[in-house]
Structure 1
Amino acid sequence: MEKKVATLERGTVCSAWNYNGIRLASGSVNGILSIFDPPDPASSSSSLSCSSSFKVNEVSIVKVVWVPPEFGDAVACISADGSLSLWEEVMEAGQSLQWKFCTKFQSKTAGVLDIQFGGSSNCLKLVIAFSDGYVKVYELLNPLELNTWQLQAEFQNVIDSVSKFTKVSCSSATLSWIPQRVETQQFSFVLGLNSDIPELNSPKVWEFDQMHQRWLPVAELALAEDSGESVHSVAWAPNIGRPYEIISVATQKGIAIWNVGLNPDVDGRLSVEKVALLSGHQGEVWQMEWDMSGMTLASSGSDGVVRLWQSNLNGVWHEQAILEPTS
């Protein structure tokens, strides 16, 4: 039985659920950010309703991302002009809750392609991928003030730190933080690019070295014959007790499932193994999401179909279900 969750305005191009899954943010082609909330208990409606709608830019919003709830109700918006703005819901004296502009990130020479928030309950980090192939990592200095960001690091997506590429052109980027676990304060993320420089494209796992206070590449998720392929999407699976991490990588060849070891070698690198290549989508895979257990992967792309993937007890991956639009 189908149930309408929310009605989005014509011109909506992106949306995102908050971490609790009860609020929805959407961005439109005319630069308007809309927030949808559950209906009032006294209401007869069962679908979300728009509680706020305001203009954040004169150009289209291309992606919206919620800030982790421990740091308040806030949404980051990437716009078509390459800028990134942060908006926070606050209550000012004598007024009701309102959405206010918080801060803006913008480069003079490159546009923002993708962002992800990560960290722990008391340390929030923001990683931003730019169209010139550079990545910037920011850290929030005051957990109560979402405009107190400090640049922590800036680097390109290469294993060899000596290599520097100039005049890089990236059409897209994809980021995914390691899902945080209570027992660890490890900061890691995976980044893949779609650029004109093959060395930058392949997904690299970056980990923060607490001792030396720097970010280091600890794994590359590509075989020798695939190292220059453009990457369309990456997703890091939650880990509920496996002795390895699982990361999915989508390229033109399909969705690769990688097992990444937990124990580094003498050079600080993690072991990697490509355990599956999932095919079925007709066209590019644009987005992937894991369930909370890290055992089921959902993927969607240009064919307009959502596919669900699982592995059996023997580690063999298979397509579990296909969800097609009804109209």
Structure 2
Amino acid sequence: MSLRCGISPRPSAQSCLPFPTYSTASRLTVRILFDMPSTNASEPIPIETSHEDMIHDAQLDYYGKRLATCSSDRTVKVFDVVDGDTQRSGGHTLKGHTGPVWQVAWAHPKFGQILASCSYDGKVIIWKEQPAQGPTPGGWAKIKEHTLHKASVNSVSWAPHELGAILACASSDGTISVLTFKNDGQWGADVFEGHAIGCNAVSWAPAVQPGSLIVPQPSNTIPGQQPVSIQSVKRFASAGCDNLVKIWGFRDESQSWVEEEVLEGHTDWVRDVAWAPNIGLARSYIATASQDKTVLIWTKDTPTSPWVKTALDPSSASVSPTTGAPAPAGKFPDVVWRVSWSLAGNILAVSCGDGKVTLWKENLKGVWECVSDMTS
């Protein structure tokens, strides 16, 4: 289970309300909505973080047992979570940034307890939990401080664990960097131009190509022979202040990242991008959120087919009413800050500047419907 929520903006934003999959938040607290039998899903559990300023992001780890939060107070906090309650005795405050911390991201547990954070100070810090040694208690230590960006780093995203320990970073200086943990214990860094006037978000594609789990095996396969291997791919999407979404792929022959496709559809800054997880089915989904108050769902049926965009229509949603004049068809009442897919990739959470989080699902006719909403 993952959780992310943003209460105030990253650079150049005016306001930012919660962005959860199963959570909402206030300025200094986080509320988690657990989809568990032991909890009441209709009553989110508030968690006091003791941050001294706006909370910008919150993430549960892979197992949902730890919560990481970050704030304009320049700190990252890590809590143990038991049935929705944080254990204050297990809380840690991570200090290393000199500006507001915009986002945190947990690495897959196969790499250990590793957390990445990015900040307005232009730095990305990768933290790792250190075990207790005798009378010395355990804690968190920096294992990498990435300082190659010249402006705010707005987003960090770990690649699927099948690809290794790889972290993509998006910056207001227009560049994207990809950090890769090498066999010699060092971190390699690739930095390249992404969006001319700033990059706001990055999101990785699944490591498994769509449809690869249903690839037919040769009819002449000998019993005991290894089946056709499933090829992993390194690919991610980025969202920029140039109103564009770009798809990037890694080329082994040149050992470099190349721009594969450009998705045009928004008329203002693209604030967030989220590539849906999949289980090897034939279709790819990408969701994008924009300053233009729209959310677009991009679908691709085959590796060679074009991306097709569909706009979510909040005016058709059968959810609790909002105050004020209704938004035009295809438009949300306010700027849309964040989008997030469920782990199965079939439900999309949308966080809007009006303080509401809506959950969307595609019906059997291929129409996206709002199935629930939460208000901060």
Which TM bucket (shorter chain)? 0.7 to 0.9
Shift of 1:73: 0.7
2:48 counterpart SS class: coil
Aligned pairs, how many? 293
1:179 aligned to 184, 190, 206, which one? 206
| TM-score, scaled to structure 1 | 0.81
> Greater relative contact order (Cα 8 A, min sep 6): structure 1 or 2?
2
Report what 1:206 is aligned to: 248
Are 1:219 and 1:272, in contact at CA under 8 Å, matched by a contact in 2?
A: no
Identity level (%): 27
Report what 1:308 is aligned to: 359
1:64 aligned to 99, 104, 107, which one? 104
Are 1:30 and 1:58, in contact at CA under 8 Å, matched by a contact in 2?
A: no
**Bigger shift: 55-64 or 232-241?**
55-64
C-alpha distance in structure 1 between counterparts of 2:375 and 2:254, whole Å: 49
Distance 1:46 1:124, change over 3 A: closer
Deviations 1:220-252 (A, max 9, x none): 2224xx4x6320111111122431200011121
C-alpha distance in structure 2 between counterparts of 1:4 and 1:47, whole Å: 8
C-alpha distance in structure 1 between counterparts of 2:100 and 2:47, whole Å: 21
Confirm or deny that 1:291 pairs with 2:291. Answer: no
Report what 1:221 is aligned to: 263
2:110 counterpart SS class: helix
C-alpha distance in structure 1 between counterparts of 2:250 and 2:307, whole Å: 19
Structure 2 residues not aligned, in runs of 5+? 1-39, 214-229, 316-331
After superposition, where does 1:23-62 map in structure 2 within 5 Å? 23-39=66-82, 47-50=85-88, 51=90, 52-62=92-102
C-alpha distance in structure 1 between counterparts of 2:347 and 2:75, whole Å: 33
Letter aligned with residue 141 of structure 2: K
1:203 counterpart SS class: strand
Report what 1:238 is aligned to: 277
Higher strand share: 1
C-alpha distance in structure 2 between counterparts of 1:5 and 1:30, whole Å: 20
C-alpha distance in structure 2 between counterparts of 1:187 and 1:59, whole Å: 31
1:4 aligned to 45, 56, 63, which one? 45
Letter aligned with residue 191 of structure 1: S
C-alpha distance in structure 2 between counterparts of 1:188 and 1:108, whole Å: 21
After superposition, where does 1:277-288 map in structure 2 within 5 Å? 277-279=312-314, 281-288=332-339
Report what 1:88 is aligned to: 128
Report what 1:165 is aligned to: none
C-alpha distance in structure 2 between counterparts of 1:255 and 1:3, whole Å: 25
Q: What RMSD, in angstroms, separates the aligned Cα atoms of the two structures? A: 2.4
C-alpha distance in structure 2 between counterparts of 1:46 and 1:316, whole Å: 34
Are 1:254 and 1:279, in contact at CA under 8 Å, matched by a contact in 2?
A: no
Letter aligned with residue 193 of structure 2: Q
Shift of 1:203: 0.4
Confirm or deny that 1:317 pairs with 2:368. Answer: yes
Report what 1:42 is aligned to: none
Are 1:70 and 1:121, in contact at CA under 8 Å, matched by a contact in 2?
A: no
Report what 1:267 is aligned to: none
| TM-score, scaled to structure 2 | 0.71
Shift of 1:36: 0.8
Are 1:5 and 1:48, in contact at CA under 8 Å, matched by a contact in 2?
A: no
1:97 aligned to 130, 138, 160, which one? 138
Give the ranges of 4+ consecutive aligned residues of structure 1 lying more than 6 Å apart after TM superposition: none
Deviations 1:280-302 (A, max 9, x none): 63211111111122111001121
Letter aligned with residue 139 of structure 2: Q
2:181 aligned to 127, 132, 140, which one? 140
After superposition, where does 1:251-270 map in structure 2 within 5 Å? 251=290, 252-264=292-304
1:93 counterpart SS class: coil
Deviations 1:188-236 (A, max 9, x none): 1000112xxx4xx41011111234433222222224xx4x632011111
Deviations 1:134-190 (A, max 9, x none): 1122211049x5xx2102x332237xxxxxxxxx542x5111101334944211100
C-alpha distance in structure 1 between counterparts of 2:102 and 2:271, whole Å: 15
Deviations 1:97-128 (A, max 9, x none): 21112221113633322221104336221112
Are 2:293 and 2:335, in contact at CA under 8 Å, matched by a contact in 1?
A: no
C-alpha distance in structure 2 between counterparts of 1:254 and 1:25, whole Å: 29
